[in-house]
Structure 1
Amino acid sequence: MLQVLGLSQRSETVYRAMLRRPDRGVAALASDTGLSEDKVREALDELASLELLKPSAQEAGVLRPVSPTVGLTALLANAEAQAATQQARVESTRAAIASIAAEHDHPYDHDRALRLEGLDAVRARLEVLQRATEFECLSLNPGGAHRPDARQAATPLNEEALRRGVTIRAVCRESFRNDADTLEYARWLTGHGGHMRTVPTVPIQMIVVDRKAAIVPLDPAAPRAGALEIHTPGTVSALCALFEQVWEHGIPFGEESPTDLNGCTPTERSLLQIIAAGDTDETAARQLGVSLRTVRRMMSSLMERLEAGSRFQAGLNAAKRGWL
């Protein structure tokens, strides 16, 4: 019944038995549940990892069951959050399908996109679009620190747009906080009414203006090479859906990154996902925008907390304990 919360049937059986008789030891629980003592111990480990068992304040070395109102409700909240994330992915996929269908219906509609060759062309076009922005500008920024020339070009345009009542929402990578100049720009933007959130990794660089036009790089690996300005409604809608999904999981600038029920920060969760996918420390450092040394320090801490002797075992333990 409680599998959706990450609780196995065996652990649920032991948990219910402990709620009825909190004073029962391993042997007694085995007798009560019909499980072997080894299976009971495995269930106790799982319950402890889900924070459904806590050390007794009265007897050293004794675990007591946490009230269902507290423990199971917390697990339910986590499950609901995961379900909401999955639903957001479904909606993003739905929008992407609509985009593909729209482009398939008009495969030769070349006037719906404009190729911008080189950084100068991109900035010149952005000036035109931002000065004409009516109500909203959205952006995803996967880079760490913003280049000084990019900030100098964007600041007056953003200031003018904010004065006109345009809503500016930007998502940046968490690691940008390590750059003093970019941090100062973030303070300026939010201090003037803009909105910024941070996430561990940003999927793609893009700007969307008034939900009508989108600017994306021709080559994500070389953003200074040029961009494509897209007006196809389906494609723009898909990019807006992607932005909203990333925005929903971002941390507002100025707030501390929260830890989840397992004590993991968003960056640590992202690192576990990257490592679990089989990527290297170097890839993780590049995606997170941090040094290789930082990645290895974080991974060492995670392996210790997961009681793992290897990265592979850390991935298995993380999945078993519901950290992924």
Structure 2
Amino acid sequence: MLQLLGLSAHAETVYRASLQYPDHGVGALSQDTGLTETDVRTAFDELAALALLRPSYQYGGRLRPVSPEVGLSTLLASAEADLATRQAQVETARAEIAAIAAEHRNTRMFDNTVRLQGLDAVRTRLEELQRATEFECLSLNPGGAHRPDARSAATPLNEQALERGVVIRAVCRESFRNDSDTLAYAHWLTEHGGQMRTVPTVPIQMIIVDRRIAILPLDPADPRAGALEIQSPGIMAALCALFEQCWSTGTSFGDQPPTDDNGCTPMERTLLAIVASGDTDEAAARRLGVSLRTVRRMMSNLMERLDATSRFQAGVNATRRGWL
């Protein structure tokens, strides 16, 4: 209990015994405490160095214990002084850290925008934001697979945020269900109180923290290039509206995507819209996050249901029948 004052466990035991039996020597204290005589002598040296034992006036060559009111109180006062000095040093360091962080932000910030160059800078900033999130974290995730290393890094921070009462809502592509790692993360997130919905396509990678900070990729085609941290209120309002639009059309994780009155799933309707815009099957596969074979199978089924002999005719018939 007195380690804060510099006493080892053996020294404390010997000191307490000496207070109780002030006339006992090394041999007797060894029996009193169950320690070896060597341990008792080592404790004596330690207690003498701390001024808790002093030469006895009554027994020559012996040491007497100093009363706790004097000896321990002196040590406590010294510890308190050290603590106060340490606290002052901590506050000075805190101020220096704040100054360095502010200087770092100022060198990167332009018009409420910070450039995060490279994947390491992005992940470092996301870790900072996750720890500082107060009430809500929103994300759009166009990628099909959740990388295991990214998941292992994010999971503890997400768990801490959920324990603090932070609301986590994520929108992912429907095709992520084909990836076992991402599926496992989705199960973990929803079981711990997070919310996830799926849509056929996600417009852009995006993370929004407390509706005041957004992280967007520098290059959507290359997530490793880095990101932009945006704090502009006007842009934030537009990005939050984009998220809510995607969220409102999504299917809750664990539910089957609903079919409309024409028997089309959200992914089928999206595929028809992609085809009607003139994109190729390859482009459709990339946007949906599925294989080219899957797109061609889905398109063949849709053409049969629309009585179409070509992709172009399928788009025309879908529009005429009100499928789009």
TM-score, normalised via structure 1 length? 0.66
Instruction: Give, in angstroms, the shift of residue 250 of structure 1.
Output: 0.2
The SS at the match of 1:153 is helix
**Corresponding residue for 1:227?**
227
1:59 is matched with none
Q: Which has the higher contact order (CA 8 A, sep 6+)?
A: 1
Is the contact made by 2:137 and 2:166 (CA closer than 8 Å) also made in structure 1?
yes
Q: Which has the larger radius of gyration?
A: 2
Q: Specify every segment of 5 or more residues in structure 1 that has no aligned partner in the other structure, as ranges.
A: 1-108
| Deviation, structure 1 residue 290 | 0.2
| Whole-angstrom CA distance in 1 between matches of 2:220 and 2:289 | 15
> Which residue number in structure 1 is paired with residue 185 of structure 2?
185
* Residue pair 2:111, 2:232 contacting (<8 A) in 1 also: no
| Residue equivalent to 2:62 | none
Q: Deviations over 1:66-121 (max 9, x none)?
A: xxxxxxxxxxxxxxxxxxxxxxxxxxxxxxxxxxxxxxxxxxx8251110001100
Q: Give, in whole Å, the separation in 2 of the partners of 1:128 and 1:184.
A: 25
AA in 2 matched with 1:200? P
Residue 299 of structure 1 aligns to a residue whose secondary structure is: helix
SS for the counterpart of 1:227 is strand
5 Å-filtered alignment, 1:97-108, equals: none
How far apart are the structure 2 equivalents of 1:260 and 1:304? Answer: 18
Identity percentage over the alignment?
77
- Give yes or no for the alignment of 1:242 onto 2:242: yes
Cα separation, 2, equivalents of 1:225 and 1:111: 21
- Give the whole-Å Cα distance in 1 for the aligned partners of 2:262 and 2:228: 42
Question: Structure 2: which amino acid aligns with 1:271?
Answer: L
Partner amino acid, structure 2, of 1:287: R
Tell me, what secondary structure is at the counterpart of 1:322? coil
In structure 1, the residue matched to 2:311 is: 311
In structure 2, runs of 5+ residues without a counterpart are 1-108
2:151 maps to amino acid: R
Q: Which runs of 4+ in 1 moved over 2 A?
A: none
Q: Within 1, Cα distance between the matches of 2:123 and 2:220?
A: 16
SS of residue in 2 equivalent to 1:270? helix
The Cα offsets for residues 263-303 of structure 1, whole Å up to 9 and x where unpaired, read as: 00000000000000000000000000000000000000000
Does residue 1:286 correspond to 2:286, yes or no?
A: yes
Scaled by the length of structure 2, what TM-score is found? Answer: 0.66
Superposed CA RMSD in Å reads 0.8
**Could you tell me how far apart the structure 2 residues matched to 1:200 and 1:179 are?**
15
TM superposition shift of 1:152: 1.0
Once the two structures are superposed, what CA deviation does each residue of 1:204-223 show, in whole Å capped at 9, x if it has no partner? Answer: 00000000000000000001
What's the counterpart of residue 19 of structure 2? none
What aligned pairs does 1:130-149 form with structure 2 within 5 A after superposition? 130-149=130-149
Name the residue aligned to 2:115: 115
Matched, 1:158 2:158: yes
Deviation at 1:160, TM superposition (A): 0.4
SS at match of 1:237: helix
